[in-house]
């Protein structure tokens, strides 16, 4: 053996180097990766909001034989059930043949994404233009939401208990909505401000109409728009008080690049983990018990009765434990969870925001974040070495392409996920998800290879 070859072999044995996913797969797998991405793109276009994601997930689950569960129902091994939490969050459960003394496997992702919610009194007219006022939801860079087509999705709940569903801006023939920006010619003051000062939230107002009703001098445009809404949905201005209407980018998911390596879309965070989690759960043939959680309100701290902090998951675990005759504390103690959420992909255009040795690289596979949080890991779930060691074994057995990473350079910022709320229940939990470029932008970017490795990794986990 030549000396060079020997050195190379030693390095291969001893060094850890994340590799490009495409270097580790064959042509057949490339076909699978691309085919899988087509299903994901359809999911993205159907599921623009948390409510629509839950609806779409239920449709997929029912096709796979899942039935709705209500508390008190018996849970037999072999059953496949789902719990629909107020149409905004969902849990799928596959009840295994195995006893639950050694716990179950849990995958948790979230289905809400940053967006612009309508205020409860949203409507006004100024200079004969009708607008809806918005209140942003989640962490956004406000200027990114100006001058792009926006669609309106959501529900209006009426006093009589009925509910109107709204979805405008997605069909080719639909109108869209629009937030204006100042022309560069007159922006000398705007461009010298900081980004935080230059784009106040109270300027994020959707243009929704411009034709005045004849013979009416005040608020004639607003009246015209309200008349259209009344004819179409039977609602009046007061009904917005009990509405949840969300403005989201009216742009479909698209392949990016001549080689179509990437998918750009609204809402990759966190549908790019939600979708693989659902497909892994629906396809599993395990004899273990699997729980797939699709949570709401992650982007604002997992609060409320549809967020991950709600006791509902614990209630379901208690019911499962009861059905199997197992102490629920023992079930939780031995359960394992992957908190499936996106991470920041290394972006060479903003290299200084990352620390290259510990960044998640796009195309190098689904990325594990041992911890999240900010500064000194504040607010983080910091998974144990033992649990990560266990998962390395699971992934090695199935030849999963994956990498380790952390969300950007230390001291620059940070973030959290649902991981800590699941871990708080005495469940081993680690964050793992697809690296995203331009995270939280109206149109985010992911790699098809990373998406597919997420499906493979979650499938190995629930096997
Ligand atoms: Mn997320
Ligand atoms: Mn997010």
Task: Assess contact for 444 and 268: CB atoms under 8 A.
Answer: yes
Tokens of 196: 């935080």
3-class state of residue 41 by DSSP: helix
* pLDDT at residue 452 tops 80: yes
Distance (Å, whole) CA 21 – CA 455: 14
The whole-number pLDDT of residue 67 equals: 98
Choose among 278, 289, 284, 281: nearest CA to 76. 289
pLDDT in tens, 105-131: 999 999 999 999 999 999 999 999 999
Read off φ and ψ for residue 323, nearest 5 degrees: -60, -35
Ligand 1 centroid, distance to 338 Cα (angstroms): 13
Ligand 1 centroid, distance to 441 Cα (angstroms): 12
- 244-258: b (≥16 Cβ within 10 Å) or e: bbbbbbbbebebbee
Ligand 1 centroid, distance to 267 Cα (angstroms): 9
Choose among 310, 371, 364, 317: nearest CA to 339. 371
Angle at 105 between CA 103 and CA 106, to 5 degrees: 125
Ligand 2 centroid, distance to 274 Cα (angstroms): 13
Q: What is the sign of the dihedral through the CA atoms of 353, 357, 362 and 367?
A: negative
* Interaxial angle between packed helices 448-461 and 385-397, expressed in degrees from 0 to 180 and rounded to the nearest 10: 100
The whole-number pLDDT of residue 196 equals: 87
Where do we find the tokens 């180097």?
Answer: 17
Ligand 1 centroid, distance to 219 Cα (angstroms): 41
Ligand 2 centroid, distance to 97 Cα (angstroms): 36
Q: Which residues contact 227 (CB under 8 A, 6 or more apart)?
A: 213
The whole-number pLDDT of residue 19 equals: 80
Ligand 2 centroid, distance to 170 Cα (angstroms): 23
Ligand 1 centroid, distance to 61 Cα (angstroms): 22
* pLDDT at residue 4 tops 90: no
The mean of the pLDDT values for the chain is 96
* pLDDT at residue 28 tops 90: no
The whole-number pLDDT of residue 1 equals: 59
Report the share of the chain in percent with pLDDT over 90: 92
3-class state of residue 153 by DSSP: strand
Distance (Å, whole) CA 146 – CA 150: 9
Ligand 1 centroid, distance to 271 Cα (angstroms): 9
pLDDT in tens, 40-52: 999 999 999 999 9
Q: What is the sign of the dihedral through the CA atoms of 292, 297, 298 and 303?
A: negative
Q: Which of 19-23, 372-376, 379-383 has the lowest mean pLDDT?
A: 19-23
Give the number of the ligand closest to the Cα of residue 113.
2
Confidence of residue 185 (pLDDT cuts 50, 70, 90): very high
Confidence of residue 447 (pLDDT cuts 50, 70, 90): very high
Average of pLDDT values for 385-396? Answer: 98
* pLDDT at residue 363 tops 70: yes
Read off φ and ψ for residue 67, nearest 5 degrees: -125, 155
Task: Assess contact for 455 and 365: CB atoms under 8 A.
Answer: no
What are the beta bridge partners of residue 94? 80, 290
Ligand 2 centroid, distance to 381 Cα (angstroms): 16
Ligand 2 centroid, distance to 415 Cα (angstroms): 8
Ligand 1 centroid, distance to 228 Cα (angstroms): 36
Distance (Å, whole) CA 264 – CA 122: 30
Give the number of the ligand closest to the Cα of residue 340.
1
Give ion ligand 1 contacts, CB < 5 A.
269-270, 341
Ligand 2 centroid, distance to 352 Cα (angstroms): 21
Average of pLDDT values for 235-245? Answer: 98
Ligand 2 centroid, distance to 406 Cα (angstroms): 15
Tell me the H-state helices in 234-374.
268-283, 312-324, 328-333
Ligand 1 centroid, distance to 238 Cα (angstroms): 33
Give DSSP secondary structure letters for 206-266. EEEE--PPTT--SSHHHHHHHHHHHHHH---GGGGGGEEEEEEE----EEESTT--EEEET
Q: Which of 14-23, 253-262, 331-340 has the lowest mean pLDDT?
A: 14-23
Task: Assess contact for 229 and 243: CB atoms under 8 A.
Answer: no
Choose among 103, 102, 105, 84: nearest CA to 94. 105
* pLDDT at residue 3 tops 80: no
Ligand 2 centroid, distance to 299 Cα (angstroms): 5
Q: Which of 13-22, 163-172, 370-379 has the lowest mean pLDDT?
A: 13-22
Ligand 1 centroid, distance to 340 Cα (angstroms): 8
Region label for 161, one of left (φ > 0), alpha (ψ between -120 and 50) or beta (otherwise): left
Distance (Å, whole) CA 340 – CA 418: 9
Angle at 124 between CA 118 and CA 125, to 5 degrees: 140
Give the number of the ligand closest to the Cα of residue 418.
1
Ligand 2 centroid, distance to 297 Cα (angstroms): 10
The whole-number pLDDT of residue 219 equals: 94
Where do we find the tokens 């459960």?
Answer: 93
Ligand 2 centroid, distance to 403 Cα (angstroms): 20
Q: Which residues contact 318 (CB under 8 A, 6 or more apart)?
A: 328
Give the number of the ligand closest to the Cα of residue 339.
1
Ligand 1 centroid, distance to 373 Cα (angstroms): 13
Q: Which residues contact 305 (CB under 8 A, 6 or more apart)?
A: 85, 86, 312
Tokens of 106: 């849990």
Cα–Cα distance list, 438 to 140, 146, 299, 319, 446 (Å): 11, 16, 16, 41, 9
Q: Which residues contact 100 (CB under 8 A, 6 or more apart)?
A: 289, 320, 321, 324, 326, 330, 331
The whole-number pLDDT of residue 438 equals: 98
* pLDDT at residue 235 tops 90: yes
Task: Assess contact for 418 and 302: CB atoms under 8 A.
Answer: yes
Ligand 1 centroid, distance to 210 Cα (angstroms): 37
């Amino acid at each position: 053996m030549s000396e060079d070859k020997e050195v190379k072999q030693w390095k291969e044995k001893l060094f850890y180097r994340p590799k490009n996913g495409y270097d580790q797969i064959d042509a057949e797998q490339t076909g699978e990766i691309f085919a899988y991405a087509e299903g994901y793109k359809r999911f993205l276009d159907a599921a623009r909001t948390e409510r629509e994601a839950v609806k779409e997930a239920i449709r997929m689950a029912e096709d796979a034989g899942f039935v709705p569960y209500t508390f008190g129902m018996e849970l037999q091994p072999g059953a496949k059930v789902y719990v629909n939490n107020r149409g905004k969050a969902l849990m799928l459960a596959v009840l295994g043949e195995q006893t639950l003394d050694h716990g179950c496997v849990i995958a948790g992702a979230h289905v809400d994404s940053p967006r612009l919610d309508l205020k409860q009194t949203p409507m006004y007219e100024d200079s004969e233009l009708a607008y809806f006022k918005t209140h942003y939801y989640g962490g956004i860079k406000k200027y990114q939401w100006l001058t792009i087509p926006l669609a309106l999705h959501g529900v209006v709940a009426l006093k009589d208990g009925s509910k109107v569903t709204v979805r405008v801006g997605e069909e080719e023939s639909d109108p869209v909505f629009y937030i204006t920006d100042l022309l560069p010619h007159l922006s000398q003051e705007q461009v010298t401000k900081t980004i935080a000062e230059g784009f106040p939230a109270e300027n994020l107002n959707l243009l929704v109409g411009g034709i005045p009703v004849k013979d009416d001098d005040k608020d004639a445009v607003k009246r015209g728009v309200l008349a259209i809404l009344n004819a179409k949905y039977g609602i009046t201005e007061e009904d917005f008080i009990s509405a949840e209407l969300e403005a989201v980018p009216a742009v479909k998911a698209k392949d990016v690049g001549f080689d179509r390596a990437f998918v750009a879309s609204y809402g990759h965070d966190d549908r790019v983990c939600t979708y693989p989690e659902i497909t892994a759960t629906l396809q599993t043939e395990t004899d273990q018990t699997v729980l797939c959680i699709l949570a709401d309100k992650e982007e604002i701290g997992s609060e409320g009765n549809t967020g991950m902090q709600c006791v509902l998951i614990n209630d379901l675990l208690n019911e499962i434990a009861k059905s199997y005759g197992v102490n629920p504390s023992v079930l939780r103690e031995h359960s394992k969870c992957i908190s499936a959420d996106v991470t920041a992909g290394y972006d060479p255009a903003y290299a200084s925001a990352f620390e290259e040795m510990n960044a998640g690289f796009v195309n190098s596979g689904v990325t594990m974040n041992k911890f999240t949080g900010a500064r000194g890991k504040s607010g983080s779930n910091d998974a144990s070495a033992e649990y990560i060691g266990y998962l390395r074994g699971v992934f090695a057995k199935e030849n999963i392409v994956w990498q380790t990473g952390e969300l950007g350079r230390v001291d620059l910022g940070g973030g959290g996920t649902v991981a800590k709320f699941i871990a708080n229940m005495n469940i081993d939990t680690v964050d793992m998800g697809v690296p995203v470029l331009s995270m939280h932008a109206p149109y985010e970017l992911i790699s098809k290879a990373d998406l597919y490795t997420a499906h493979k990794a979650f499938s190995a986990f629930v096997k």
